[in-house]
């Protein structure tokens, strides 16, 4: 699975939790999941669980804590699925 495919799935999994849909129009690797997209920290846990299910991976607590941007999520998932 390449980076573009991972990014597409990450955005699709995050979209239901986004409180600022306008930010989805200009999403990039640097987009902050919490600040830019308006996802609250409790929902970030749900998103990480969705990543685990979708990509058949296990994300450690420390790794989950390191996810702040779309790029962070894509890079972490890329490492875990390869």
Give the pLDDT score at 26.
95
- Domain containing 21: what range? 3-81
Among the listed residues 75, 76, 6, 71, the one whose alpha carbon sits nearest the alpha carbon of residue 33:
71
**Within a 10 A sphere around the Cβ of 33, how many other Cβ atoms?**
24
Q: 34: domain CATH number?
A: 1.10.1200.10
Give the pLDDT score at 82.
76
Give the pLDDT score at 47.
97
Q: What share of the chain is helix, strand, coil (3-state, %, to 5)?
A: 65, 0, 35
- Residues 55 and 26 sit within 8 Å (Cβ to Cβ): no
Domain tally, the chain: 1
- Mean pLDDT for each consecutive 10-residue tract of the chain (82 residues)? 96 97 95 96 95 97 96 97 85
């Amino acid at each position: 699975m390449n980076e573009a495919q991972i990014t597409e799935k990450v955005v699709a999994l995050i979209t239901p939790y986004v409180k600022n849909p306008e930010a989805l129009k200009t999403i990039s690797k640097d987009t902050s999941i919490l600040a830019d997209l308006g996802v609250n920290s409790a929902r970030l846990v749900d998103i990480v669980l969705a990543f685990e299910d979708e990509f058949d991976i296990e994300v450690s607590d420390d790794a989950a804590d390191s996810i702040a941007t779309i790029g962070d999520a894509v890079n972490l998932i890329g490492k875990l699925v390869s």
